[in-house]
Amino acid sequence: MSIAVRVEPFDGTPSDVEFRWDADTDILTANLRSRVVSEGTSGSVEIEGMDGSWLILDVNGGSVHGVEVAVWPEVRKRPTLAPPGEVTDGRVLVSSDGNEIASIEMNTALAAEADEAERTIHFRLGPPRQTRAVRIARDILIDVDGRDRIAGVWLLSVPPFPDVS
């Protein structure tokens, strides 16, 4: 599994994130509130875990602008889960073949871990490896490995699942 990316710095402050839970399907969506207008691929990168889980990256103008957890992998709970201490702000641009719209599907091992309150959630794609964290929005980090491939996604300050009682 390999999703090649390029990381570019951006000026200003990271965008706020709009989280949305669908109480009927358990789907969690996290989108950047402000979108940078740029040229490049728009579409989605669909990552399917070996267990049938789905993580979808929304790509707009070439860069990752959102994350959707369509089918949850087994989530390993930890008493605490802290995001990486060293983080670089930037845009994560998905490599494309020049098309304006793309839909890419990848199969890989997909693992998830969360703190006890499920406010911090980390998805790891493929085998564990050395990564650097790139903040694409105030509450979304993308792990990028040494070969410039996406290795994980962090969702921070996730609101609680809606009480449907």
What is the pLDDT averaged over residues 50-59?
92
In a domain, 79, yes or no: yes
pLDDT tops 70 at residue 15: yes
In a domain, 124, yes or no: yes
pLDDT of residue 38: 64
Domain that holds residue 64: 5-155
pLDDT digit string, tens, across residues 58-101: 998 888 999 999 999 999 999 999 999 999 999 999 876 555 55
In a domain, 136, yes or no: yes
pLDDT of residue 132: 97
In a domain, 162, yes or no: no
In a domain, 68, yes or no: yes
In a domain, 164, yes or no: no
Q: What's the CA gap between 28 and 159, in Å, rounded?
A: 10
pLDDT of residue 37: 61
Residues facing 4 on adjacent strands: 149
pLDDT of residue 62: 86
In a domain, 114, yes or no: yes
| Structural domains of the chain, count | 1
HEC string of the chain equals CCCEEEEECCCCCCCCEEEEEECCCCEEEEEECCCCCCCCCEEEEEEEECCCCEEEEEEECCEEEEEEEEECCCEEEECCCCCCCCEEECEEEECCCCCCEEEEEEEECEEEEEECCCCCEEEEECCCCCEEEEEEECCEEEEEECCCEEEEEEECCCCCCCCCC
* Backbone Cα Rg of the chain: 15
pLDDT of residue 67: 97
pLDDT tops 80 at residue 12: yes
In a domain, 27, yes or no: yes
pLDDT digit string, tens, across residues 113-162: 999 999 999 999 999 999 999 999 999 999 999 999 999 999 999 999 88
